Amino acid sequence: MLSGRRLDLLDPAPVDIEISDIAHGLSFVARWNGQTVGEFPYSVAEHSLLVERILRLLNPRATAEQRLSALLHDAAEYVIGDLISPVKNALEGGYDEMEDRILAAIRLRFGMPMDLSGRQKSAIKRADRMSAWLEARQIAGFDTREADALFLRPPDRIVDHISIILRPPEQVRTEFEKLAADLLNEIDQKRKRAASRSGSN
C-alpha cells in the first residue's frame, strides 16, 4: 500500500488497513468496466459517496455508523478491484469470499459492528441499487426502461436533484477521505460521551 502497509489478501489484518489507502485505491477503480461517458472514469469512490448521500437523503436520521457503513460498503475493492456481476458469478464465490474477509478486517479496523442488522443492510442495498439506476441513466448509456428493469428507480426528489459529474480522481479521493474522517470522529466523540455518562453513574 502507498501508506507503507503490507496487506495479506488471504488473511488481511485490521492493523494494515488505512483510510488513505482505501480512498486512494477506490478513486482509481472504475465502475461499469470503464464504459461510461466523460473524460474521467466513474470510480468506486465516487459511487460510494453517492450511496452515502442517497442513504442520508432517504434516512435523514441515519447515524454516523450507518453512514460510514454505506461509504465503505465496497471498500474491499480498493485492493481486489470491481468486477461486473457476470464475472463474479463465473468465479463461483471465490471473489465474494475474499471480499468478505477484507470487509471484515475493515470493519474491525474502524470499530464497526461485524454484522449489520437486516434493516441496515437493506437500507444500504436500497441506496446502492438506486445509485446504480442513476449511474445507468446518466453516464452508462441505459435508457429508462432498461434501468427500471435492472435497478431500483429512486424517488423523483432524488432523480431530479442528483446529477453525476465526473471529477479527477484526486478530488474524489479528498472528498472520500474527509467524509470518512468526519464520520469516524463523530463516532469516536459519541463513544466518549457514552463512556463519560457511564463512568459518572
116 part of a folded domain: yes
Domain range holding 25? 14-196
Q: What is the CATH number of the domain that holds 56?
A: 1.10.3210.10
5 part of a folded domain: no
User: Would you tell me how many other CB atoms lie within 10 Å of the CB of residue 86?
Assistant: 7
pLDDT digits (tens, 9 = 90+) for 126-177: 999 999 999 999 999 999 999 999 999 999 999 999 999 999 999 999 999 9
Rounded distance, CA 143 to CA 113, Å? 38
In this structure, what are the phi and psi dihedrals at residue 96, rounded to the nearest 5 degrees? -60, -40
pLDDT digits (tens, 9 = 90+) for 22-58: 999 999 999 999 999 999 999 999 999 999 999 999 9
115 part of a folded domain: yes
Say whether pTM exceeds 0.85. yes
73 part of a folded domain: yes
CA 131 to chain centre: 11
Where does residue 132 rank: exposed (0-12), middle (13-18), buried (19+ CB within 10 A)?
buried
Rounded distance, CA 187 to CA 72, Å? 15
